[in-house]
Every structure is written in structure tokens, then in C-alpha cells.
Amino acid sequence: MNFRHHIPNICTLLNAFSGMAAIFFLSQGGIDKALIFWGACYVFDGLDGLLARYLKAESDLGKQLDSLADAISFGALPTYFLFTICEAGDPLLSLGCIMYLLGVILRLARFNVAESKTIFFQGLSSPLAALVVGWVGIGLGPLPLVCYPLLAGLLAFLMNAPLPLLKTKGFQHVPKPFLILAGFVFVLAMGLQVLFETSLLIPLGLLLYLLLSLTAFHRSKDKS
């Protein structure tokens, strides 16, 4: 095995490193630096898959390594983030965080044994769930304490619910008019985000993703 086959795995390890670095800076009160490394997790998580396909370096090792890294970056990190913005000693919050972390681990295990040829995920992906945690914690500001364990439990459920959500390669099965309309709405939301400093971009993006996924799923059922 030559060096190019290791490049995707190096990106995966950088994903795990970024997640651990973000946890470290959160523990030191450095929220700005933590957010930079949290963003880096998404960059490396996207790069490893792209490079693996481009370099024809996909492997069982890479698949397992990717899930282990995601358990840190999109499991342990958002869980710890919830503790830092709330009262860590609250038993209800502790229960919610445990449910969230277990939900991520179960979701990743299910992904590793799932059929890879389908164009759909089953359940919300752990990176998207972590994005919701970050949006609620930062974009919405302080909320009543009870909201956070409820959010954690809801996300744990959605990650393991039989909900068909598109993989990247599945968007080619969505009718072009739907994609154009979704793109227009998303760009409009980006403009509103810049002009009025709203916090609607992430939830609107998730809603569009859900609608496009359901559209593609129903079309695939009709064809079959």
C-alpha cells in the first residue's frame, strides 16, 4: 500500500485531533478557538471521503476509523459543549447528554453495517446533529435549562429513527426544479442572515434537506 492510500486516513485522524483540540479549548474557556477547531472537524470529515473516492483509496480501515473520529468530533465534543453552556451538575442535563452520546455511538455503528449502495442514510447523521447542538447553543443564546436535555434526547432519537435522508450522491435523483427552488430559498436565507443577523440559516437548510430527501424517497418508491 503506497502513501496515497494513507492520505484519507490522515484527514480522518486530523478530524479526531480537531475534535480533541476543541474539547481542550472549551475546557479552558476558549470558545473562539474551540469553534475554529469544531469547524475544522467538518472540513476534514468531508475531505477524507472525497479523497478516498478520488484516490481510489477506500478501505474497511478507513470506514472504521471515520466512525471512531466522528464519535469524538460529533459525539463527545457536542456533549461536552452542552455541559459548558449549562449547569453541568443538573441530573436532567446529564441524562440528556448521556442519551445524546449513546445515540451518536449507535448511529455510527448502524452506519458501519448498513448497505452502502443505497442513496439514503437511515436517520439524521451525527455531523448534522452536532451542527444543531452548536446552532442552539450559540445562535439562539441562553434558553431555559430544560430545553437542552430535551434537545439532546430528540436528536438521539432522530439519529436512529427510520428516516430516509439523502446521501451526497443521492441529490442527482431530486428533480432539478426542486433543487433550483431549494437553492434560491437557501441563498435568500443567506442574504437575510447577513442583513438582519438572523439565526435561521441552519434550521432552514435542515428543513430543505429533509424536504428534498422525502421527495427523492417517494420518487424512488414510485419507480419501484
Q: What is the pLDDT, as a whole number, of residue 87?
A: 60
User: What distance lies between CA 191 and its chain's CA centroid?
Assistant: 23
Task: State how far the alpha carbon of 181 is from the alpha carbons of 24, 68, 173, in Å.
Answer: 41, 36, 15
Task: State how far the alpha carbon of 210 is from the alpha carbons of 12, 201, 215, in Å.
Answer: 27, 14, 9
Q: How confident is the model at residue 39 (pLDDT cuts 50, 70, 90)?
A: very high
User: What distance lies between CA 83 and its chain's CA centroid?
Assistant: 19
In the predicted structure, residue 18 carries a pLDDT above the cut 80:
yes
- Selection from 162, 203, 205 nearest residue 187 by Cα: 205
Please report, to the nearest 10 degrees, the dihedral formed by the alpha carbons of residues 154, 67, 56, 170 taken in order.
Answer: -10
Domain ranges of the chain: 3-162, 165-224
pLDDT digits (tens, 9 = 90+) for 44-66: 998 988 888 888 877 888 888 99
pLDDT digits (tens, 9 = 90+) for 160-201: 998 888 887 777 777 787 778 878 877 777 776 666 666 677
Q: Please name the residues in contact with 46: beta carbons below 8 A apart, sequence gap of 6 or more.
A: none
Q: How confident is the model at residue 129 (pLDDT cuts 50, 70, 90)?
A: very high
> Do 22 and 76 touch, CB atoms closer than 8 A?
no
pTM of the model: 0.86
Cα-Cα-Cα-Cα dihedral sign, residues 27, 28, 30, 36: negative
Q: What is the pLDDT, as a whole number, of residue 163?
A: 86
Q: What is the pLDDT, as a whole number, of residue 93?
A: 81
Question: What b/e sequence results for 86-115 when a residue is b if at least 16 CB atoms lie within 10 Å of its CB, and e otherwise?
Answer: beeebebbbebbebbbebbbebbeebeeee
Q: What is the pLDDT, as a whole number, of residue 95?
A: 86
Q: How many CB atoms lie within 10 A of CB 206?
A: 16
CATH number of 3-162: 1.20.120.1760
Q: What is the pLDDT, as a whole number, of residue 41?
A: 94
pLDDT digits (tens, 9 = 90+) for 67-103: 999 999 999 999 999 888 776 567 788 888 889 999 9
Strand partners, 121: 165
